[in-house]
Amino acid sequence: MYSLLILIIIGLITFIIYLMLKKKNPLKFIIIIFAIIIGVLLLFGFRFTASSALPMGSNVIKSINTVYGKAVLYEDQNNTFGLAKINRSLGFLYHYSGGTSDYLIEGSEPFVAAGFGNDEEDGFMVGVKSNNHNINYIVVGNHLEDISPSDTYKFNMETVKKHPESYQVKEVVDQYAFFVFDEYSEKTWTIRALDFEGNLLADKLFGNGDARYIGW
């Protein structure tokens, strides 16, 4: 798609040069061609800001610069949230390159997590939302092996500090926490929620669909 766009733009620029050589007053032709170039960019999904490349009516909650452009956590006009990969081209053009959407907290869930991406080329982003005011930290990562939902285990902020290479921690701000990792893995899809004192309140273990409160 990008190659076709470049060919179209090159063709239009060539046409402009031709008109400038042929016409004494090519200003109106230049304006028309410029409008056509803008129209082509918009038609191909290019925008001039990262936020305008998101689905219509979306509001950026958090964004993180990456090697491909921006990773974005956003809320849409239906009050659900999603994640988007926004590519940057030619230094000033942004293009929506995929994502996931329509996440919301249902029932008594402690938090809901959205993930998008896969390998090192795409990266892997994780967005977490919680309506529980007692949840102050979101921890993504794991060093414990072979934990099943029926197992009890000890975990708190001291655990994270003892194994800093295995975890990333973000404070919940305005109900959200947002992470970007190199790739999807068991570690990057194991999520825990801690209170203000660093005690474990809830988790979402790898392979489990929903987050759960910890009752032990």
The tens digit of pLDDT for each residue in 87-140 reads 877 667 787 888 999 999 988 899 999 999 877 667 899 999 999 999 999 999
Q: How many domains does the chain have?
A: 3
Do residues 30 and 72 both lie within one domain?
A: no
Q: What is the pLDDT of residue 146?
A: 79
Map tokens 């285990």 to a residue: 153
Do residues 10 and 109 both lie within one domain?
A: no
Q: For residue 171, which of 128, 212, 205, 206 has the smallest C-alpha distance? A: 128
Do residues 149 and 200 both lie within one domain?
A: yes
Cα-Cα-Cα-Cα torsion 67, 116, 178, 97, nearest 10 degrees, comes to: 50
Do residues 126 and 170 both lie within one domain?
A: yes
| Domain enclosing residue 208, as ranges | 105-216
Identify the CATH number of the domain in which residue 198 sits. Answer: 2.60.40
Do residues 71 and 128 both lie within one domain?
A: no
pLDDT at 38 over 90: no
Do residues 90 and 182 both lie within one domain?
A: no
Do residues 130 and 196 both lie within one domain?
A: yes
* Longest pairwise C-alpha distance within the chain: 83
Low-confidence winner among 137-146, 153-162, 204-213 (lowest mean pLDDT): 204-213
Do residues 137 and 170 both lie within one domain?
A: yes
Residue of 97 and 27 predicted with greater confidence: 97
How would residue 78 be classed by pLDDT, with cut points 50, 70 and 90?
confident
Q: Average pLDDT of the chain? A: 84
Q: What is the pLDDT of residue 106?
A: 85
Tell whether pTM > 0.85. no
